[in-house]
Amino acid sequence: MADIHILQMFKESFTLVILLFLSVLSITFALERWWYFRTASGRADDILGGVRKQLEGGKVDAAVAWCQKHPSSVAQVVAYGLMHAGRSRKDLEELMGSKLKEERMKFERYLAILGTLGNIAPFIGLFGTVVGIIRAFRDLAASGTGGPSVVAAGIAEALVSTAAGLIVAIPAAVLYNYFMGRLKRQTVEMEVASTRLTVMLGAK
């Protein structure tokens, strides 16, 4: 009976259908971002440690190839710096800075969607609740019978939209803040790697 009741609410409330779609969207993008952050994250010390061994042997090309094969964003920034190792310090810093921004853009992909879902889902749920309450009072006025019990039942069903909106919004907001925190840490790692590589190369 409970399942039939839930299905009936979905049929009568288009806002619940929208929120269900948004929840699927949120889960999909969260999983995609989790996988990308898992593969593209890296520590500056680990990457530079491998590069230093190659440079000490005079194998710049080997160091570039090693970084390019590494999936982390830090390795890509370092590889870009090694490819332009002969340039002046200013040019090298600007080139690696541009590469850092490019890698950051990859991390930021889809995060705005999670942030938006966290902000708008409660309002969609509230809208569904308002519509449901209006419908409950309209049905009461049309029937003229039933009293408060009919209104209470209608309002109870309408409040499901608000609860659904919060169920979608809270995880989306938490995940957005979680990924933004990881993005900041990864940006710092790329900046550290960029600065240390410039010193290692002795650019002037």
Identify the pLDDT of residue 2: 41
pLDDT exceeds 90 at position 37 = yes
Segment among 14-18, 96-100, 165-169 with least mean pLDDT? 14-18
pLDDT digits (tens, 9 = 90+) for 80-126: 999 888 888 888 989 999 999 999 999 999 999 999 999 999 999 99
Cα 72 to Cα 51: distance, rounded to the nearest angstrom:
14
CA distance 154 to 143: 13
Tell me how many helices (H) and strands (E) the chain has.
8, 0
**Cα gap 75→119, rounded to integer Å:** 35
Weakest mean pLDDT among 58-67, 90-99, 185-194: 58-67
What is the maximal distance between C-alpha atoms in the chain?
90
Distance in Å from the first CA to the final CA of the chain: 76
Query: Is 153 in contact with 7 (CB distance < 8 Å)?
Result: no
Report yes or no: 203 and 92 within 8 Å, Cβ to Cβ.
yes
Compute the distance between CA of residue 51 and CA of residue 64 in angstroms, rounded to an integer.
8
Q: Of the candidates 8, 3, 1, which has an alpha carbon nearest to the alpha carbon of residue 157?
A: 8
Q: Is residue 198 predicted with pLDDT exceeding 80?
A: yes
